[in-house]
Structure 1
Amino acid sequence: MTVHASFESFSKKRGTRFAVQDLTFDVRAGRVVGLIGPNGAGKSTALAGLTGLVEATSGRARVFGTDYRSLRKPASRMGVNLDGMGVEPGLTGRRHLEICRLAAGAERDNVDRILDQVDLAAEAGKKVRDYSLGMRQRLGIASALIGNPQLLVLDEPANGLDPEGIQWLRRFLREFASAGGSALVSSHQLMELEQVADEVVILKQRTLFRGSLEEAKALGGGSLESAYFKILERAT
Protein backbone atom coordinates (compact mmCIF):
# COMPACT_ATOMS: atom_id res chain seq x y z
CA MET A 1 0.00 0.00 0.00
CA THR A 2 1.33 3.44 -0.96
CA VAL A 3 2.76 5.48 1.91
CA HIS A 4 1.68 9.12 1.81
CA ALA A 5 3.50 10.27 4.96
CA SER A 6 6.02 8.80 7.36
CA PHE A 7 7.75 9.63 10.61
CA GLU A 8 11.10 7.91 10.93
CA SER A 9 12.53 8.23 14.47
CA PHE A 10 11.37 11.86 14.37
CA SER A 11 12.59 13.81 17.40
CA LYS A 12 12.42 17.49 18.28
CA LYS A 13 14.22 18.97 21.25
CA ARG A 14 13.23 22.29 22.78
CA GLY A 15 15.98 23.49 25.06
CA THR A 16 17.08 20.50 27.13
CA ARG A 17 13.82 18.56 26.79
CA PHE A 18 12.26 16.61 23.96
CA ALA A 19 8.88 17.81 22.74
CA VAL A 20 8.67 14.50 20.88
CA GLN A 21 11.16 11.65 20.60
CA ASP A 22 11.61 8.66 18.28
CA LEU A 23 8.19 8.96 16.65
CA THR A 24 7.79 6.31 13.95
CA PHE A 25 4.66 5.49 11.95
CA ASP A 26 3.21 5.68 8.43
CA VAL A 27 0.07 7.18 6.91
CA ARG A 28 -0.93 5.00 3.97
CA ALA A 29 -3.29 5.59 1.08
CA GLY A 30 -6.90 4.83 1.91
CA ARG A 31 -6.37 5.14 5.67
CA VAL A 32 -7.40 7.60 8.38
CA VAL A 33 -4.84 7.73 11.20
CA GLY A 34 -5.77 9.25 14.55
CA LEU A 35 -2.97 10.93 16.52
CA ILE A 36 -3.92 11.24 20.18
CA GLY A 37 -2.30 12.16 23.45
CA PRO A 38 -2.65 14.60 26.37
CA ASN A 39 -1.90 18.30 26.09
CA GLY A 40 1.84 18.80 25.67
CA ALA A 41 2.35 15.27 24.34
CA GLY A 42 4.03 16.48 21.14
CA LYS A 43 1.14 16.13 18.66
CA SER A 44 1.36 19.69 17.37
CA THR A 45 5.15 19.44 17.11
CA ALA A 46 4.82 16.25 15.07
CA LEU A 47 2.33 17.82 12.67
CA ALA A 48 4.47 20.93 12.35
CA GLY A 49 7.46 18.72 11.54
CA LEU A 50 5.53 16.96 8.80
CA THR A 51 4.51 20.25 7.23
CA GLY A 52 8.00 21.76 7.31
CA LEU A 53 7.26 24.30 10.04
CA VAL A 54 9.63 22.60 12.51
CA GLU A 55 13.10 21.24 11.83
CA ALA A 56 13.76 17.82 13.34
CA THR A 57 16.54 17.52 15.90
CA SER A 58 17.03 13.98 14.62
CA GLY A 59 15.14 11.56 12.42
CA ARG A 60 12.80 12.87 9.77
CA ALA A 61 9.21 13.39 8.72
CA ARG A 62 8.48 12.84 5.04
CA VAL A 63 5.54 13.24 2.67
CA PHE A 64 5.45 11.22 -0.53
CA GLY A 65 9.03 10.15 0.12
CA THR A 66 10.55 13.59 0.54
CA ASP A 67 10.67 16.70 2.69
CA TYR A 68 7.48 18.77 2.38
CA ARG A 69 9.51 21.79 1.29
CA SER A 70 10.88 19.81 -1.65
CA LEU A 71 7.45 19.09 -3.12
CA ARG A 72 6.41 20.75 -6.34
CA LYS A 73 2.94 22.27 -5.95
CA PRO A 74 2.70 21.00 -2.37
CA ALA A 75 -0.98 21.95 -2.01
CA SER A 76 -1.81 19.36 -4.65
CA ARG A 77 -0.18 16.65 -2.53
CA MET A 78 -0.98 17.61 1.05
CA GLY A 79 -3.71 19.82 2.49
CA VAL A 80 -3.14 21.23 5.98
CA ASN A 81 -5.31 22.81 8.65
CA LEU A 82 -3.40 23.27 11.90
CA ASP A 83 -4.49 24.94 15.12
CA GLY A 84 -3.54 28.61 14.98
CA MET A 85 -3.73 28.94 11.19
CA GLY A 86 -5.79 32.12 11.33
CA VAL A 87 -8.04 33.68 8.72
CA GLU A 88 -8.32 37.43 8.25
CA PRO A 89 -11.71 38.13 9.90
CA GLY A 90 -12.55 40.94 7.48
CA LEU A 91 -12.48 38.61 4.47
CA THR A 92 -15.48 36.69 3.26
CA GLY A 93 -15.21 32.93 3.21
CA ARG A 94 -15.18 32.99 -0.59
CA ARG A 95 -12.42 35.59 -0.75
CA HIS A 96 -10.29 33.60 1.70
CA LEU A 97 -10.63 30.49 -0.44
CA GLU A 98 -9.88 32.47 -3.59
CA ILE A 99 -6.60 33.65 -2.02
CA CYS A 100 -5.81 30.04 -1.03
CA ARG A 101 -6.61 28.91 -4.59
CA LEU A 102 -4.25 31.45 -6.11
CA ALA A 103 -1.47 30.48 -3.70
CA ALA A 104 -2.01 26.80 -4.50
CA GLY A 105 -2.14 27.34 -8.27
CA ALA A 106 -5.46 25.49 -8.35
CA GLU A 107 -8.30 25.71 -10.85
CA ARG A 108 -10.78 28.59 -10.52
CA ASP A 109 -13.80 26.30 -10.23
CA ASN A 110 -12.30 24.63 -7.14
CA VAL A 111 -13.69 27.40 -4.93
CA ASP A 112 -17.36 26.78 -5.72
CA ARG A 113 -16.92 23.02 -5.73
CA ILE A 114 -15.25 22.96 -2.33
CA LEU A 115 -17.70 25.42 -0.79
CA ASP A 116 -20.41 22.95 -1.78
CA GLN A 117 -18.34 20.04 -0.49
CA VAL A 118 -18.01 21.54 3.00
CA ASP A 119 -21.58 22.88 2.99
CA LEU A 120 -20.58 26.56 3.16
CA ALA A 121 -21.92 27.77 -0.19
CA ALA A 122 -24.80 29.66 1.41
CA GLU A 123 -22.44 31.39 3.86
CA ALA A 124 -19.62 32.15 1.40
CA GLY A 125 -20.48 35.85 1.14
CA LYS A 126 -20.36 36.43 4.90
CA LYS A 127 -17.27 37.81 6.58
CA VAL A 128 -15.32 35.30 8.61
CA ARG A 129 -15.76 37.41 11.75
CA ASP A 130 -19.44 36.49 11.60
CA TYR A 131 -18.81 32.75 11.28
CA SER A 132 -19.50 30.37 14.14
CA LEU A 133 -16.62 28.19 15.38
CA GLY A 134 -18.06 25.27 13.44
CA MET A 135 -18.22 27.31 10.24
CA ARG A 136 -14.61 28.36 10.73
CA GLN A 137 -13.67 24.70 11.09
CA ARG A 138 -15.38 23.90 7.79
CA LEU A 139 -13.58 26.84 6.16
CA GLY A 140 -10.26 25.50 7.49
CA ILE A 141 -10.98 22.11 5.97
CA ALA A 142 -11.98 23.82 2.72
CA SER A 143 -8.62 25.64 2.72
CA ALA A 144 -6.85 22.30 3.07
CA LEU A 145 -8.84 20.86 0.15
CA ILE A 146 -8.32 23.73 -2.29
CA GLY A 147 -5.39 22.09 -4.13
CA ASN A 148 -7.11 18.67 -4.50
CA PRO A 149 -4.58 16.95 -2.19
CA GLN A 150 -4.07 13.23 -1.67
CA LEU A 151 -3.20 13.65 2.02
CA LEU A 152 -4.98 15.75 4.65
CA VAL A 153 -3.38 16.82 7.93
CA LEU A 154 -6.07 18.12 10.28
CA ASP A 155 -5.63 19.35 13.85
CA GLU A 156 -8.79 18.96 16.00
CA PRO A 157 -11.18 19.16 13.01
CA ALA A 158 -14.28 18.26 15.08
CA ASN A 159 -13.74 21.10 17.56
CA GLY A 160 -16.78 23.39 17.54
CA LEU A 161 -18.86 21.29 15.16
CA ASP A 162 -22.50 20.69 16.03
CA PRO A 163 -23.91 17.13 15.80
CA GLU A 164 -24.81 17.63 12.13
CA GLY A 165 -21.30 18.91 11.42
CA ILE A 166 -19.75 15.94 13.20
CA GLN A 167 -21.83 13.56 11.10
CA TRP A 168 -20.69 15.43 7.99
CA LEU A 169 -17.02 15.20 9.08
CA ARG A 170 -17.29 11.44 9.68
CA ARG A 171 -18.82 10.90 6.26
CA PHE A 172 -16.33 13.22 4.54
CA LEU A 173 -13.23 11.54 6.03
CA ARG A 174 -14.47 8.05 5.20
CA GLU A 175 -15.32 9.04 1.62
CA PHE A 176 -11.95 10.78 1.21
CA ALA A 177 -10.11 7.65 2.32
CA SER A 178 -12.33 5.35 0.24
CA ALA A 179 -11.39 7.37 -2.84
CA GLY A 180 -7.69 6.65 -2.19
CA GLY A 181 -6.81 9.67 -0.08
CA SER A 182 -5.40 9.57 3.42
CA ALA A 183 -5.79 11.67 6.54
CA LEU A 184 -3.75 12.27 9.67
CA VAL A 185 -6.13 13.63 12.30
CA SER A 186 -5.07 14.94 15.70
CA SER A 187 -7.98 14.97 18.15
CA HIS A 188 -8.98 14.83 21.79
CA GLN A 189 -12.44 13.56 20.85
CA LEU A 190 -11.82 9.86 21.19
CA MET A 191 -15.38 8.77 20.54
CA GLU A 192 -15.34 10.61 17.23
CA LEU A 193 -12.00 9.11 16.22
CA GLU A 194 -13.43 5.71 17.01
CA GLN A 195 -16.01 6.32 14.27
CA VAL A 196 -13.54 7.22 11.51
CA ALA A 197 -9.99 6.05 12.25
CA ASP A 198 -8.43 2.95 10.73
CA GLU A 199 -5.26 3.26 12.79
CA VAL A 200 -4.30 4.99 16.03
CA VAL A 201 -1.06 6.44 17.36
CA ILE A 202 -0.98 7.30 21.08
CA LEU A 203 1.78 9.72 21.94
CA LYS A 204 3.26 11.19 25.11
CA GLN A 205 6.59 12.53 23.91
CA ARG A 206 7.32 8.94 22.86
CA THR A 207 5.07 6.54 20.99
CA LEU A 208 3.04 4.56 23.51
CA PHE A 209 0.95 2.66 20.97
CA ARG A 210 0.60 2.37 17.23
CA GLY A 211 -1.66 -0.08 15.47
CA SER A 212 -5.12 -0.62 14.08
CA LEU A 213 -8.20 0.81 15.76
CA GLU A 214 -9.37 -2.72 16.49
CA GLU A 215 -6.08 -3.57 18.18
CA ALA A 216 -6.34 -0.47 20.32
CA LYS A 217 -9.96 -1.13 21.27
CA ALA A 218 -9.10 -4.71 22.24
CA LEU A 219 -6.74 -3.34 24.89
CA GLY A 220 -9.62 -1.39 26.38
CA GLY A 221 -12.29 -4.04 26.32
CA GLY A 222 -13.82 -2.70 23.12
CA SER A 223 -13.43 1.02 23.83
CA LEU A 224 -10.78 3.36 22.42
CA GLU A 225 -11.25 5.72 25.36
CA SER A 226 -10.65 2.93 27.88
CA ALA A 227 -7.59 1.76 25.95
CA TYR A 228 -6.23 5.31 25.81
CA PHE A 229 -6.34 5.80 29.59
CA LYS A 230 -5.01 2.31 30.26
CA ILE A 231 -2.04 2.91 27.97
CA LEU A 232 -1.33 6.31 29.54
CA GLU A 233 -1.53 4.80 33.02
CA ARG A 234 0.98 2.11 32.11
CA ALA A 235 3.38 4.79 30.87
CA THR A 236 3.41 6.71 34.17
Structure 2
Amino acid sequence: MGKLETIGFDADDTLWHNERVFRLTQERFANLLAGHADRERLEAELLDAETRNLAHYGYGVKGFVLSMIETAIEVTDKTVPAGVIAELLEAGRDMLDHPIELLPHAKDAVGALSKRYDLLLITKGDLLDQERKLAQSGLGELFDGVEIVSEKTTASYRAIFDRHGVAAKHSMMVGNSMKSDVLPVIEAGGWGTHVPSDLEWDWEHAPAPEGHPRFHVLEDLGGLADLVSTIS
Protein backbone atom coordinates (compact mmCIF):
# COMPACT_ATOMS: atom_id res chain seq x y z
CA MET A 1 0.00 0.00 0.00
CA GLY A 2 1.08 3.56 -0.63
CA LYS A 3 2.04 5.98 2.08
CA LEU A 4 -1.29 7.79 1.90
CA GLU A 5 -4.69 6.18 2.23
CA THR A 6 -6.87 9.03 3.50
CA ILE A 7 -7.00 12.72 2.58
CA GLY A 8 -8.73 15.15 4.93
CA PHE A 9 -9.99 18.50 3.70
CA ASP A 10 -10.83 21.60 5.67
CA ALA A 11 -13.98 23.30 4.38
CA ASP A 12 -14.11 27.08 4.94
CA ASP A 13 -11.53 28.99 2.86
CA THR A 14 -10.06 25.71 1.62
CA LEU A 15 -12.90 24.41 -0.54
CA TRP A 16 -15.11 27.51 -0.60
CA HIS A 17 -14.97 31.19 0.31
CA ASN A 18 -15.88 32.03 3.89
CA GLU A 19 -13.68 34.65 5.55
CA ARG A 20 -14.63 37.34 3.06
CA VAL A 21 -18.26 36.99 4.18
CA PHE A 22 -17.12 37.64 7.74
CA ARG A 23 -15.07 40.64 6.59
CA LEU A 24 -18.05 42.15 4.78
CA THR A 25 -20.18 41.74 7.90
CA GLN A 26 -17.42 43.24 10.05
CA GLU A 27 -17.44 46.24 7.71
CA ARG A 28 -21.19 46.54 8.22
CA PHE A 29 -20.63 46.31 11.99
CA ALA A 30 -18.01 49.07 11.91
CA ASN A 31 -20.30 51.38 9.93
CA LEU A 32 -23.16 50.83 12.35
CA LEU A 33 -20.98 51.79 15.33
CA ALA A 34 -18.84 54.46 13.68
CA GLY A 35 -20.30 57.13 15.96
CA HIS A 36 -19.17 55.31 19.10
CA ALA A 37 -15.64 54.07 18.39
CA ASP A 38 -13.04 54.19 15.62
CA ARG A 39 -12.51 51.21 13.34
CA GLU A 40 -9.23 50.11 14.96
CA ARG A 41 -10.79 49.94 18.41
CA LEU A 42 -13.87 48.13 17.12
CA GLU A 43 -11.76 45.51 15.35
CA ALA A 44 -9.56 44.95 18.41
CA GLU A 45 -12.48 44.67 20.81
CA LEU A 46 -14.40 42.37 18.48
CA LEU A 47 -11.40 40.05 18.17
CA ASP A 48 -11.03 40.04 21.95
CA ALA A 49 -14.71 39.14 22.32
CA GLU A 50 -14.50 36.36 19.71
CA THR A 51 -11.43 34.88 21.39
CA ARG A 52 -13.00 35.14 24.82
CA ASN A 53 -16.22 33.52 23.65
CA LEU A 54 -14.82 30.57 21.70
CA ALA A 55 -15.08 28.31 24.74
CA HIS A 56 -18.75 29.27 25.16
CA TYR A 57 -20.09 29.61 21.62
CA GLY A 58 -17.56 27.77 19.48
CA TYR A 59 -16.74 28.73 15.90
CA GLY A 60 -19.13 30.00 13.27
CA VAL A 61 -21.65 32.69 12.45
CA LYS A 62 -23.75 32.47 15.60
CA GLY A 63 -20.79 32.99 17.92
CA PHE A 64 -19.59 35.84 15.70
CA VAL A 65 -22.96 37.60 15.90
CA LEU A 66 -23.10 37.25 19.68
CA SER A 67 -19.57 38.68 19.89
CA MET A 68 -20.58 41.65 17.72
CA ILE A 69 -23.56 42.33 19.98
CA GLU A 70 -21.38 42.06 23.09
CA THR A 71 -18.84 44.46 21.59
CA ALA A 72 -21.60 46.90 20.62
CA ILE A 73 -22.86 46.89 24.20
CA GLU A 74 -19.35 47.52 25.53
CA VAL A 75 -18.34 50.37 23.20
CA THR A 76 -21.64 52.19 23.73
CA ASP A 77 -21.49 51.73 27.51
CA LYS A 78 -24.70 49.68 27.37
CA THR A 79 -26.62 52.30 25.40
CA VAL A 80 -26.60 50.60 22.00
CA PRO A 81 -29.93 51.22 20.25
CA ALA A 82 -32.23 48.27 19.74
CA GLY A 83 -32.18 49.06 16.02
CA VAL A 84 -28.44 48.38 15.86
CA ILE A 85 -28.92 45.02 17.60
CA ALA A 86 -31.66 44.20 15.11
CA GLU A 87 -29.35 45.04 12.19
CA LEU A 88 -26.59 42.84 13.61
CA LEU A 89 -29.02 39.94 13.91
CA GLU A 90 -30.10 40.54 10.33
CA ALA A 91 -26.45 40.55 9.25
CA GLY A 92 -26.05 37.15 10.87
CA ARG A 93 -29.05 35.77 9.01
CA ASP A 94 -27.61 37.13 5.76
CA MET A 95 -24.36 35.28 6.48
CA LEU A 96 -26.23 32.03 7.07
CA ASP A 97 -28.07 32.48 3.76
CA HIS A 98 -24.99 33.45 1.75
CA PRO A 99 -24.50 31.25 -1.33
CA ILE A 100 -21.48 28.96 -1.54
CA GLU A 101 -18.73 29.81 -4.03
CA LEU A 102 -16.09 27.12 -4.54
CA LEU A 103 -12.44 28.12 -4.59
CA PRO A 104 -10.40 27.51 -7.77
CA HIS A 105 -9.66 23.81 -8.50
CA ALA A 106 -11.64 22.61 -5.46
CA LYS A 107 -14.10 20.48 -7.41
CA ASP A 108 -11.45 18.97 -9.69
CA ALA A 109 -9.06 18.21 -6.81
CA VAL A 110 -11.68 16.51 -4.67
CA GLY A 111 -13.08 14.62 -7.64
CA ALA A 112 -9.70 13.33 -8.78
CA LEU A 113 -8.58 12.19 -5.33
CA SER A 114 -11.92 10.54 -4.51
CA LYS A 115 -11.17 7.88 -7.14
CA ARG A 116 -8.10 6.59 -5.30
CA TYR A 117 -8.32 7.66 -1.66
CA ASP A 118 -10.79 7.83 1.18
CA LEU A 119 -11.74 11.46 1.65
CA LEU A 120 -12.81 13.10 4.91
CA LEU A 121 -14.21 16.58 5.39
CA ILE A 122 -12.92 17.82 8.75
CA THR A 123 -14.22 21.22 9.75
CA LYS A 124 -15.07 23.43 12.69
CA GLY A 125 -18.16 25.56 13.12
CA ASP A 126 -21.90 25.37 13.58
CA LEU A 127 -23.31 21.95 12.65
CA LEU A 128 -26.34 23.19 10.68
CA ASP A 129 -24.38 25.85 8.81
CA GLN A 130 -21.57 23.49 7.83
CA GLU A 131 -24.06 20.87 6.67
CA ARG A 132 -25.85 23.54 4.59
CA LYS A 133 -22.63 24.67 2.95
CA LEU A 134 -21.52 21.14 2.16
CA ALA A 135 -24.90 20.35 0.59
CA GLN A 136 -24.79 23.52 -1.53
CA SER A 137 -21.20 22.89 -2.60
CA GLY A 138 -22.12 19.81 -4.63
CA LEU A 139 -19.11 17.97 -3.16
CA GLY A 140 -20.88 16.00 -0.44
CA GLU A 141 -21.13 12.69 -2.30
CA LEU A 142 -17.38 12.65 -2.91
CA PHE A 143 -16.53 12.37 0.79
CA ASP A 144 -16.44 9.08 2.66
CA GLY A 145 -16.95 10.81 5.99
CA VAL A 146 -17.75 14.22 7.48
CA GLU A 147 -16.42 15.33 10.84
CA ILE A 148 -17.66 18.63 12.31
CA VAL A 149 -15.65 19.25 15.47
CA SER A 150 -15.54 21.93 18.16
CA GLU A 151 -11.76 22.23 17.90
CA LYS A 152 -8.99 20.79 15.74
CA THR A 153 -6.32 19.40 18.03
CA THR A 154 -3.80 16.60 17.88
CA ALA A 155 -6.12 14.47 20.02
CA SER A 156 -9.17 15.18 17.85
CA TYR A 157 -7.32 14.23 14.68
CA ARG A 158 -6.08 11.01 16.21
CA ALA A 159 -9.62 10.18 17.30
CA ILE A 160 -10.96 10.88 13.80
CA PHE A 161 -8.34 8.70 12.14
CA ASP A 162 -9.04 5.92 14.65
CA ARG A 163 -12.77 6.10 13.94
CA HIS A 164 -12.12 5.71 10.25
CA GLY A 165 -9.65 2.88 10.71
CA VAL A 166 -6.58 4.62 9.31
CA ALA A 167 -3.21 5.37 10.89
CA ALA A 168 -2.18 9.01 11.11
CA LYS A 169 1.00 8.24 9.16
CA HIS A 170 -1.20 7.23 6.20
CA SER A 171 -3.28 10.43 6.39
CA MET A 172 -2.94 13.94 5.02
CA MET A 173 -4.86 17.04 6.05
CA VAL A 174 -5.27 19.88 3.54
CA GLY A 175 -6.30 23.32 4.72
CA ASN A 176 -5.73 27.06 4.87
CA SER A 177 -5.03 27.27 8.60
CA MET A 178 -1.54 26.51 9.83
CA LYS A 179 -2.83 26.40 13.38
CA SER A 180 -5.81 24.10 12.83
CA ASP A 181 -5.15 22.13 9.64
CA VAL A 182 -1.40 21.58 9.58
CA LEU A 183 0.42 21.66 12.92
CA PRO A 184 -1.84 19.32 14.95
CA VAL A 185 -1.95 16.73 12.14
CA ILE A 186 1.83 16.68 11.83
CA GLU A 187 2.08 16.33 15.60
CA ALA A 188 -0.35 13.40 15.38
CA GLY A 189 2.00 11.71 12.90
CA GLY A 190 0.27 12.67 9.65
CA TRP A 191 1.00 14.90 6.68
CA GLY A 192 0.00 18.57 6.67
CA THR A 193 -0.52 20.54 3.46
CA HIS A 194 -1.04 24.28 3.75
CA VAL A 195 -3.04 26.05 1.03
CA PRO A 196 -2.98 29.71 2.14
CA SER A 197 -6.07 31.83 1.58
CA ASP A 198 -6.07 35.51 0.66
CA LEU A 199 -7.90 36.33 3.89
CA GLU A 200 -7.25 34.65 7.22
CA TRP A 201 -8.70 35.20 10.66
CA ASP A 202 -6.00 36.42 13.06
CA TRP A 203 -6.84 33.59 15.47
CA GLU A 204 -5.62 31.02 12.94
CA HIS A 205 -2.09 32.43 12.55
CA ALA A 206 0.83 30.20 13.59
CA PRO A 207 4.47 29.75 12.50
CA ALA A 208 5.09 27.17 9.77
CA PRO A 209 7.09 24.01 10.58
CA GLU A 210 9.70 24.86 7.97
CA GLY A 211 11.82 21.92 6.89
CA HIS A 212 9.54 19.25 8.35
CA PRO A 213 9.46 16.25 5.99
CA ARG A 214 5.67 15.87 6.23
CA PHE A 215 4.90 19.56 5.65
CA HIS A 216 4.00 20.96 2.22
CA VAL A 217 2.69 24.24 0.86
CA LEU A 218 0.60 24.67 -2.29
CA GLU A 219 -0.43 27.90 -3.97
CA ASP A 220 -3.87 26.41 -4.66
CA LEU A 221 -5.62 23.05 -4.89
CA GLY A 222 -4.61 22.65 -8.52
CA GLY A 223 -1.34 20.99 -7.49
CA LEU A 224 -2.78 18.69 -4.83
CA ALA A 225 -3.30 15.55 -6.90
CA ASP A 226 0.29 15.65 -8.16
CA LEU A 227 1.63 16.21 -4.63
CA VAL A 228 -0.33 13.27 -3.26
CA SER A 229 0.86 11.02 -6.09
CA THR A 230 4.51 11.83 -5.33
CA ILE A 231 4.02 10.84 -1.68
CA SER A 232 2.06 7.70 -2.45
One fold, TM greater than 0.5?
no
Larger proportion of helix: 2
TM-score (structure 1 length as normaliser): 0.29
Larger proportion of strand: 1
TM-score (structure 2 length as normaliser): 0.30
Structure with the greater alpha carbon radius of gyration: 2
